[in-house]
Amino acid sequence: MAEGITAMTWLAVFMGGGVGSVLRFGLGQGLRAVEVGSFPWAVLAANVLATALLAWCAVTGAELWGRTSPMWFFMTVGVCGGFSTFSTFAWDTLQLWQDGGWMLALTNVAVSVVGCVAVSWWVAQITS
């Protein structure tokens, strides 16, 4: 295993991913009852909430648990990753921007959004 990564860390990521996935599913089911139109409100809500949680974990959680503790990995990689991978994308983009790499941040946004939409379209085309 990688240095500093223990079996407990792997278990924490595994369990957190399950929690995040169940949270996303529950949110989706709950919002379907009030959904208006075809806009993906559940996905947007999950992405925004997961991004907020990841940002909180990155700042406050790091102080509480440390960045190498199983709890850190449970929350950031596990829960946030299971709830939404968009949270990591948003956080990484913010870090690029704050580090002065605004061009890299904008490139990350453009390539991620256009690339993911293009891949979604392509997969839909080849599987329908």
The mean per-residue pLDDT over the stretch 69-90 comes to: 91
Q: Is the pLDDT of residue 115 over 80?
A: yes
> Angle 86-98/102-127 helices, nearest 10 degrees?
160
Distance CA 97, CA 84 (A): 21
Question: DSSP secondary-structure letter at 74?
Answer: I
pTM across the whole model = 0.75
- How confident is the model at residue 33, as a pLDDT? 77
Cβ proximity of 84 and 47 under 8 Å: yes
The count of C-alpha atoms lying within 13 angstroms of the C-alpha of 117, restricted to the half-sphere facing its C-beta, is 5
Cβ proximity of 19 and 79 under 8 Å: yes
The model's confidence at residue 69, banded by pLDDT at 50, 70 and 90, is very high
